[in-house]
Amino acid sequence: MYSQHKTKKMNTIENHKKAAAHLEEAAKSHHEAAKHEEAGNLDKAASSTIKAHGHSTIAAEAQREVLKSQAVKK
């Protein structure tokens, strides 16, 4: 039982870290998109926006896993 709890806790920690890392990458990509947009490089801005969306999506999935694991604890 203890081992199973420890494994779930480790998965939750990893999902927190995964969400944070992808949110940071999404923010960087949004900053890049803004710079490209200001410079008139619309193709590069679109590419950076798509990257940001991908990172946001992965972060949201990790956040969902954290919420599911914490809901089970209550």
Residue 40: inside a domain, yes or no? yes
| Helix ranges restricted to H, the chain | 2-38, 42-73
Would you say 63 and 16 are in contact if contact means Cβ atoms under 8 Å apart?
Answer: no
pLDDT tens profile 42-56:
999 999 999 999 999
Residue 72 token pair: 């089970």
The pTM assigned to this predicted structure is 0.86
Whether 30 is in a domain gets the answer yes
Q: Tell whether 8 is covered by a domain.
A: no
Q: Is residue 66 part of a domain?
A: yes
| Number of structural domains the chain divides into | 1
Residue 50, CB half-sphere, CA atoms under 13 Å: how many?
6
- Domain annotation covers residue 5: no
Which DSSP letter does residue 39 get? T
The residue segments making up the domain with residue 45 are: 18-73
What pLDDT, on a 0 to 100 scale, did the predictor assign at position 27?
A: 98
| Cα dihedral 40→53→11→68 (10° resolution) | 140
- Residue-wise pLDDT for 4-43, tens only, equals 778 888 999 999 999 999 999 999 999 999 999 999 999 9
